[in-house]
Chains A and B, each alone.
Chain A
Amino acid sequence: MKRAPGLMDHPFGADYAQRTLAPADKHLAGFREQARAVFEPHGLPGPKNESWRFTPLRSLAKVPFIPADAADDVDVSAVPPGVVSLPGSARIVLVNGVYRRDLSDAIEGVEIFGLQGADRNLLGHLATAASAPLAALNASFMTGALALRVNGAVPATLHLISIAAAGNQPVAFHPRLLISLAPGASLTLVETHCGLPGQATFANPVTEITLGEDAHLRRYVQVAEQDDSFHLATTAVALAANSRMEGFHLGLGGALVRQEVNVVMRGTAAALELHGAYALGGHDHHDFTTSVNHHVPGCTSSQVFKGVVDGESHGVYQGRIHVARDAQKTDARQQHKALFLGRGPQIDCKPELEIYADDVQCAHGAATGEIDADHMFFLAARGIDPATARMLLVEAFLADAVERISDETVRAAFGRDIQGWLSRRNLKAAA
Chain B
Amino acid sequence: MSAVMAEQTWVEVGPIDSIPRLGARVLKRDGGDIAVFRNAEDEIFALLNRCPHKGGPLSEGIVYGRTVACPLHNLCMDLATGQAKAPDEGCATVFPVRIDGERVLVSLEQAAT
The yes or no verdict on A and B being binding partners is no
